[in-house]
């Protein structure tokens, strides 16, 4: 039979729980899965990805949204296309396929001793959740922790109970923000974030994520930032951090592109000569800047 390991062969996994994170047409659900083969094991680093098979529909690449410290595998998936629409109709006990993990993951070892700002927008919270939980579970190795998490409305924020619990436990300073004002969510002027009065007691804002980054005056001293979310959010947050004196090397983000193989062969996820599937998805902004403007 074949000599080399067959990287295209998925392991069958059963959906063991489903959490409806957000409602609506573009809902996000978190699927916890367990391999059918009890001997099957997967070791991964926060930030790595898996190719998920919905048999008959195809495969899609998702970030693993659970931390390796938790001992379970979860994917948080937004209902978007053919594979994810089918996935969203699936029930506990249904079977999917998983191959991976792929990609580099976050360099959490290098981050020891640093203050970390986790900055996420929408379903971009999925990889951030994985690395944030990893860091919280190794709390003593890291400095101050902050989460700035934005979504369109309060209903569009995922992992509510989990993040509330982390906040209550004092492990991490959490700021949430939404686009359209709701009662109890304090508006911040998106046009003049520098002038904004930032009340440390305020936890819920109305304003862009980048606005909160500026208003909070995130401190670059012995710190790093992890930014995941829609391209426009990443761009504006990086601009906010740059104005606050952050260096490109201190800013981490994850990139995504259409993928088919996950192992650097199918030729479509490249940005210039960089393959997001194998070289990424985690890059520093310094690395992103060096890439050809091919995105």
Residues of this chain that bind other proteins (CB under 8 A): 1-10, 12, 36, 53, 55-60, 80-81, 84, 95, 97, 231, 256-258, 260-261, 263-268, 270-273, 275, 278, 292-295
Q: Nearer to other proteins by C-beta: 88 or 146? A: 88
Q: Nearer to other proteins by C-beta: 76 or 133? A: 76
Q: Measured from the CB of residue 49, what is the shortest distance to other proteins in angstroms?
A: 14
Q: Nearer to other proteins by C-beta: 200 or 293? A: 293
Q: Measured from the CB of residue 1, what is the shortest distance to other proteins in angstroms?
A: 8
Q: Measured from the CB of residue 191, what is the shortest distance to other proteins in angstroms?
A: 27
Q: Measured from the CB of residue 229, what is the shortest distance to other proteins in angstroms?
A: 13
Q: Nearer to other proteins by C-beta: 158 or 214? A: 158
Q: Nearer to other proteins by C-beta: 4 or 180? A: 4
Q: Measured from the CB of residue 46, what is the shortest distance to other proteins in angstroms?
A: 20
Q: How many CA atoms lie within 13 A of 152 on its CB side?
A: 8
The label of the residue with tokens 């959906």 reads: 15
Token code pair at residue 157: 């924020």
Q: Measured from the CB of residue 232, what is the shortest distance to other proteins in angstroms?
A: 11
Q: Nearer to other proteins by C-beta: 165 or 232? A: 232
């Amino acid at each position: 039979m074949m000599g080399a390991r067959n990287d295209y062969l998925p392991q069958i996994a059963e959906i063991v729980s489903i959490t409806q994170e957000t409602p609506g047409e573009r809902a996000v659900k978190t699927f916890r899965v367990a391999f059918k083969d009890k001997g099957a094991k997967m070791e991964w680093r926060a930030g790595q990805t898996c190719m998920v098979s919905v048999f008959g529909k195809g495969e899609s690449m998702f970030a693993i949204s659970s931390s390796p410290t938790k001992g379970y595998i979860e994917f948080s998936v937004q209902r978007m296309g053919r594979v994810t629409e089918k996935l969203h109709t699936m029930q506990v006990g249904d079977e999917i396929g998983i191959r991976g993990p792929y990609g580099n993951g976050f360099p959490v070892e290098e981050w020891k001793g640093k203050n970390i700002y986790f900055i996420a927008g929408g379903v971009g919270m999925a990889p951030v959740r994985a690395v944030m939980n990893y860091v919280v579970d190794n709390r003593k190795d890291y400095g101050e922790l902050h989460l700035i998490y934005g979504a369109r409305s309060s209903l569009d924020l995922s992992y509510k109970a989990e993040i509330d619990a982390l906040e209550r436990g004092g492990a991490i300073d959490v700021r949430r923000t939404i686009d359209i004002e709701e009662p109890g969510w304090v508006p911040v002027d998106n046009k003049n974030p520098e002038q904004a009065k930032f009340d440390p007691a305020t936890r819920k804002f109305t304003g862009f994520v980048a606005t909160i980054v500026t208003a909070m005056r995130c401190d670059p001293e012995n710190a790093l930032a992890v930014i995941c979310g829609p391209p426009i959010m990443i761009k504006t947050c990086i601009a906010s951090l740059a104005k606050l004196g952050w260096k490109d090397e201190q800013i981490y983000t994850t990139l995504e592109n259409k993928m088919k193989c996950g192992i650097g062969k199918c030729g479509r996820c490249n940005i210039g000569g960089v393959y997001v599937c194998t070289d990424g998805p985690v890059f520093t902004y310094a690395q992103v800047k060096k890439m050809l403007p091919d995105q």
